[in-house]
Structure 1
Amino acid sequence: MEYGHLGHSGLIVSRVAFGNWLSGSSDRGEETQIACVRAALDAGITTFDTADVYGDTRAEELLGRALRGERREGLEILTKVFAPTGPGRNDLGLSRKHILESITGSLRRLGTDHVDVYQAHRFDPSVPLEETMEALADVVHSGKAHYIGVSEWTADQIRRGHALARELRISLVSNQPQYSALWRVPEAEVMPACAELGVGQIVWSPLAQGVLTGKYLPGRQAPAGSRATDSNDGSELLAGWLKDEVLGRVQELKPLAAEAGLTLAQLSLAWVLRNPGVSTAVLGASRPEQITSNAEAAGVRLDDDLMAKIDAVLGPVAERDPGRTRESGPTSPGWRLG
């Protein structure tokens, strides 16, 4: 495993992080999910990303149990706030009430007295940004979080939030966007703005929900038990990728991966990590061996020639429209994943 700073902050994270949104899937036992966390630790992963909404709060509880007994100072635990966690009108969003109540619940479920990064899961246009940032500042100043971050905010929203954070003497250190060789939406606006501000990228879905592993074949039904066949695993998000044109081009990457001595998943993850703005890439897993294998991509260096070949293959089908960031709100498919 390799490690680096989260943006320009002093916080050091593992270049591959473990994300446990899959823990909410009904067909995956707790024993398997805990085994995935143990495999992540064995691979040198120290950064763990979750959210209060994953599995209707069960994912935080499971992560807390899986990490019990580990030296807390040796871990970076990240969670998020925004999504509905109850039936009430104030059980969602980025109001002061919901933020302060949510951090209390998250810490209880995680079994810790603080998180390293507390992230606004989406932007909330219904609440004044000043109210949101002041509440997050209180979370930091009370010692319940060391840093704050955001997820799927636009470049303008990040700039405004960062400016307020500085006024409030807290550190907005990260953004968590969807990013992969097939989803390059953040490159045009979000990543340049973050580079200016020193905000690091904690990217989710670096394997495009498994499409970039090559397991989905053009003209074939999705493998039984895969995410494409399980509504709990984000099958609605996958639908846009399961087109023969896309899947056929992904298959063209297999010879490139073999020539480099990599699996297709490792090649795809190494592609993401080569972007200098990416501090860490969040991986989920349904089996421990997936984490063990994919974590090896952290030390891989792809040369310019190989990067050009990958871009030539996937370029025609990659999504680049920066406006798609604005579609990553609470009503869009897959918003609960990142």
Structure 2
Amino acid sequence: MKKIHVNGLDKDCSQIVLGSMMFSPSNMEFATELLNSYVEAGGNTIDLAHIYNSGESEKAVGLWLKETNLRDEIVILDKGAHPDANGPRVTPEAIEQDLQESLQRLQVEHIDIYMLHRDDPTIPVEVIINALNKHIQAGLVQAIGVSNWTTGRIQEANAYAEKNNLIGFAVNSPNLCLAKANEPRWPGCVSVDEKDKKWHTENQLPLFAWSSQAGGFFTGRFTPENLENKEMVRVYYNEVNWERYRRAEKLAWKKGVTTNQIALAYVLNQPFPTCALIGPSNIEELQSSIVASNVTLTVEEMAELENG
């Protein structure tokens, strides 16, 4: 499986990143089967978050790591500081609390990539960078990143880090997919636009895309006439996306793959380093994503998918 480099890590990350949201100690057979199949296919990066499954996902992955003794081979990507019922939690205290709890659940000594799950623009970047660098210096985190931040805030934070000889954000994790969202799928989420893509191209900052397959928009399960799934209608139903679906379908036939695999290949063939976070519900879906990771799209094919 193809890999990309992330500054601060001692091993590269596989472009397909396995999501853990459905894992828990109560379904270890399912989690173990997916994790083992993923590693056997060459994958080495697992997506986690403090809030996933109320912490059960981290516990399940921790049990698997202990059972397989694969900790040194795996890149753990974990996220914290997600808002709660009282609002944003991007504070040094909340970051430390979530980090310590995640380390305990995972039964590990450090997390390879630690991301902030949301932003709070009222908190100065220097407060956040200082807090995260304390954990890097303590050996609890190797690299830091953000999920659902604007590129402007990332640039501001990294400029502060560089000026003060600190470590800045090495990874960004917004929504990037062939289907463009009408509105955020969840509150506080950020989707990439053309300006963001240009910024990533210029800076070559790795992007880890969530909802990289647009919630199954390209699987063939949805049509313009089928309005049953209200969330899909709200987020992805528009004529631009249906046109992109038709172009992806045409290119898929030409290359002998599925439309959904073309959608994933679109994310992985950007002019900057990318990974795709996936959440397969079975081995077949995992294998389909792995096939997609080996599909090469030319600059012309990428432009055709986007613009027709």
TM over 0.5: yes
Deviation digits for residues 290-337 of structure 1 (CA, Å, limit 9, x no counterpart): 111211222221134433432245xxxxxxxxxxxxxxxxxxxxxxxx
- Are the counterparts in 1 of residues 7 and 143 from structure 2 also a CA contact under 8 Å? no
The aligned residue for residue 204 of structure 1 is: 210
The amino acid that maps onto 1:83 is H
Cα separation, 1, equivalents of 2:137 and 2:156: 20
Q: Which moved more, 1:72-81 or 1:30-39?
A: 30-39
The DSSP-based 3-state class of the residue aligned with 1:116 is strand
Instruction: Assess, with a 3 A threshold, how the Cα gap between structure 1 residues 201 and 285 changes in structure 2: closer, same or farther.
Output: same
Amino acid at match of 2:274: S
User: In structure 2, what is the Cα distance between the partners aligned to 1:23 and 1:98?
Assistant: 24
Residue of 123, 126, 130 corresponding to 1:130: 126
The answer for unaligned runs of 5 or more in structure 2 is 182-190
Q: Deviations over 1:85-117 (max 9, x none)?
A: 7x7x6x961211111111100111112111111
Give 1:158's aligned amino acid. I
Using the size of structure 2 for normalisation, the TM-score is: 0.85
- In structure 2, relative to structure 1, the CA distance for the partners of 1:191 and 1:8 (3 Å cut) is farther
Q: Is the contact between residue 270 and residue 300 of structure 1 (CA under 8 Å) also seen in structure 2?
A: yes
Q: Which residue of 2 aligns with 1:153?
A: 149
| 1:222-276 deviation per Cα after TM superposition (whole angstroms, max 9, x unaligned) | 5xxxxx4xxxxxx746632246874575255323202201122211111111102
Which residue number corresponds to residue 12 of structure 1?
A: 12
Q: Which protein, 1 or 2, shows the higher relative CO under an 8 Å CA cutoff with sep ≥ 6?
A: 1
Q: Which moved more, 1:36-45 or 1:148-157?
A: 36-45
Unaligned 5+ runs, structure 1: 223-227, 229-234, 314-338
Amino acid paired to 2:286: I
- Give the counterpart letter for 2:176 in structure 1: Y
Question: Percent of counterpart pairs with the same letter?
Answer: 26
Letter in structure 1 aligned against 2:224: P
User: In structure 2, what is the equivalent of residue 309 of structure 1?
Assistant: 304
| TM-score (ref. length: structure 1) | 0.78
| Structure 1 residue 190: Cα displacement | 2.7
Q: CA RMSD in A?
A: 2.8
Pairing partner for 1:179 from 176, 179, 197 = 176
**In structure 2, distance between residues paired with 1:248 and 1:59:** 37
> Aligned residue for 2:102?
106
Q: Count residues with an aligned counterpart.
A: 296
Preserved contact between residue 8 and residue 198 of structure 1 (Cα < 8 Å) = no
Residues 1-40 of structure 1: matches in 2 within 5 Å? 1-6=1-6, 11-23=11-23, 29-40=27-38
